[in-house]
A = this chain, B = another copy of it.
């Protein structure tokens, strides 16, 4: 019952196990890979270690399969469920982090010449386009009537971001150089 801070990873694991009833770390890995993980990545190693932490906090319980493959199933405890529901209901205002390396580069584009900026913008536009298509194909692989399902939200928001990013970078790639540098 060690005290430990609940991180986003904790809530992810708690939530996935609550939804599934029980799950092995590999189940978690797959579930993450095809949904949230596309937008907010959680390395698989954590999906093996985090449940152990949560067991030590009394929020999960481990049920090792006695026969067959001895899989490690994790189940949520009532304390775990309570913690999860508390987090879900709490109106907490946490901050959003948009960690986009392309934007960080853009922030320093004054260090690049015009050509360099063009190259960056073109590459970013392409990358986001590709990503957009990947997410779209993922979204399409879902039954259409489920597309509006709230749990697909992260994916949908990811799509919105990628769409915006494609336009954003296209715009930058197309921008005319500032007047002052017209005649260098």
A residues adjacent to B (C-beta < 8 A): 8, 11-12, 15, 18-19, 35-36, 39-41, 84-85, 87-89, 91-112, 116-117, 119-120, 123, 127, 131, 148, 150-151, 153-154, 156-158, 160-161, 164-165, 168, 172, 175
Contacts and interface: CB of A to CB of B under 8 A. Distances in A.
Contact of A97 (B41, B84, B95, B153): B41
B172 A150 contact: yes
Contact of A107 (B35, B95, B97, B116): B35
Nearest to A12: B104
Given A84-B111, A97-B97, A116-B89, A40 B105 contact: no
A162 B150 CA distance: 19
B175 A148 contact: yes
Contacts of A107: 15, 35-36, 150-151, 153-154
B103 A39 contact: yes
A37 B28 CA distance: 32
Contacts of A119: 89, 91
A39 B99 CA distance: 8
Nearest to A98: B39
A77 B99 CA distance: 27
B105 A87 contact: yes
A107 B157 CA distance: 11
A119 B88 CA distance: 10
